[in-house]
């Protein structure tokens, strides 16, 4: 048995801008929902083979590792993640031009014990809800222009996020 969650949204920025801003891991804490929080990962744009640690679920209580499987510039980013014996998934975001903006489509096929029977339907809805929240947060994020760094500004890194996660007991 398996589940697949799908969500889609058009964002009002050009394709190249949308893709570049989405794969910039250092900005994920600015738009990812509370149920999908970055803990650690590269302080740069994501690349194939990169690993990240994520806090998942209500209250971000579950910690999982994800690996970037594919990065096809201006087309797709895909990562795999799982919780042994419970779920294995690959989450892809596909990017395409859409009337001067960018269509972003989230697809997440999953398999494992959490995808069976009535629980599977609930799990699939939850994956879909999180995908929709990711896209809504991203749309709001890219609608704001980037502020240029001023002399003396420290670049944003995930060291700050890790400290915040550690303070939360993750």
Map residue 65 onto helix, strand or coil: strand
Among the listed residues 134, 55, 150, the one whose alpha carbon sits nearest the alpha carbon of residue 91: 134
- Give the pLDDT mean for 97-115: 93
Distance in angstroms (rounded) separating the CA atoms of residues 83 and 121? 18
The model carries a pTM of: 0.83
Pick from 54-63, 74-83, 109-118, 136-145: least confident: 54-63
Q: Give yes or no for a contact between 165 and 55, defined as CB atoms under 8 angstroms apart.
A: yes
Q: How much is the pLDDT for 153?
A: 58
Beta bridge partners of 2: 111
Q: Which of the four pLDDT bands, split at 50, 70 and 90, describes residue 133?
A: very high
Q: How much is the pLDDT for 150?
A: 61
Map residue 33 onto helix, strand or coil: coil
**CB-based contacts of 15, cutoff 8 Å, min separation 6:** 74, 95, 96, 97, 102
Query: Tokens representing 92?
Result: 């892809």
Distance in angstroms (rounded) separating the CA atoms of residues 29 and 110? 24
Distance in angstroms (rounded) separating the CA atoms of residues 106 and 85? 24
The answer to whether residue 85 scores a pLDDT higher than 90 is no
Q: Which of the four pLDDT bands, split at 50, 70 and 90, describes residue 162?
A: very low
- In the chain, the domains with their CATH numbers are 2-144 (3.30.530.20)
Q: How much is the pLDDT for 46?
A: 97
Q: Give yes or no for a contact between 83 and 62, defined as CB atoms under 8 angstroms apart.
A: yes
Q: Is 165 exposed, middle or buried (0-12, 13-18, 19+ CB in 10 A)?
A: buried
% of the chain at pLDDT higher than 90: 59
Higher pLDDT pick, 163 / 58: 58
Beta strands in the chain (DSSP E): 2-11, 36-40, 51-56, 62-72, 76-83, 87-98, 101-111
């Amino acid at each position: 048995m398996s589940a697949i969650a799908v969500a889609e949204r058009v964002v009002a920025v050009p394709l190249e801008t949308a893709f570049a801003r989405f794969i910039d891991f250092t900005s994920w804490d600015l738009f990812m929902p509370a149920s999908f929080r970055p803990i650690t990962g590269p302080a740069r744009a994501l690349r194939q083979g990169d690993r990240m640690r994520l806090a998942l679920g209500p209250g971000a209580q579950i910690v999982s590792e994800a690996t970037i499987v594919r990065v096809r510039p201006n087309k797709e980013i895909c990562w795999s993640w799982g919780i042994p014996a419970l779920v294995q998934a690959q989450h892809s975001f596909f990017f395409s031009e859409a009337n001067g903006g960018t269509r972003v489509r989230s697809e997440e096929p999953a398999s494992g014990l959490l995808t069976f029977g009535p629980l599977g339907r609930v799990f699939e809805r939850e994956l879909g809800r999180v995908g929709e929240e990711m896209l809504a947060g991203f749309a709001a994020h890219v609608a704001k222009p980037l502020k240029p760094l001023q002399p003396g500004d420290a670049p944003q890194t995930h060291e700050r996020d890790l400290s915040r996660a550690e303070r939360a007991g993750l």
